[in-house]
Amino acid sequence: MNADNKNKTIPVINLLNDKHSSLAALLEKASSIQATDRKIKKLLDPTLKDKFELANINADVAVILVNSSAWATRLRYNIPIILDILNKDLNYTSIKTVRIKIKKAIPENPVLNKKPNSISANSAQFLNDVANNFNDPELRACILKLSKNHS
């Protein structure tokens, strides 16, 4: 990369629209995992649906996060059902393993940076536009909150 291209800024929207961009690929994978998570929750025991989230699908492994060891144990009993849902109902035929991991607790009062980060007005507008394209109300609210941090 030459010196001229090194300091060139690229709008985020261009990175998201570029099919060869790693950011676009990451967004697409995250959306796919989120959609798969919703489908699993619809097909699995309803008492479990708010207790886990599909974190990743990589090669032949699906990784699921839970909040506690108690829910991890309960979910482990459902691994055969989860594999069946992934392989038969959702056509993830290469998945052979489900790993269940417990999320690390986040401290209630984390030490925050005193100076809040800010974004440009253009970035704030872009985030507003992106947020309006999400169906998930929590995700939309988070992105809209980020868009408020402009200078």
Q: Which of 103, 113, 136 is nearest to 33 (CA)?
A: 136
- Distance spanning both ends of the chain, measured CA to CA: 31
Contacts 24+ apart (CB under 8 A), 103-108: 103/65, 103/66, 103/67
Amino acid at 138: E
Which domains are seen in the chain, by residue range?
20-106 (3.30.300.180), 117-151 (no CATH)
Q: Is the pLDDT of residue 102 over 80?
A: yes
pLDDT greater at residue 142 or residue 15: 142
Whole-model pTM: value is 0.60
Asked if pLDDT for residue 5 goes beyond 60, the answer is: no
Whether the per-residue pLDDT at 78 is higher than 90: the answer is yes
Rg (CA), the chain: 19
pLDDT over threshold 50, residue 1 = no
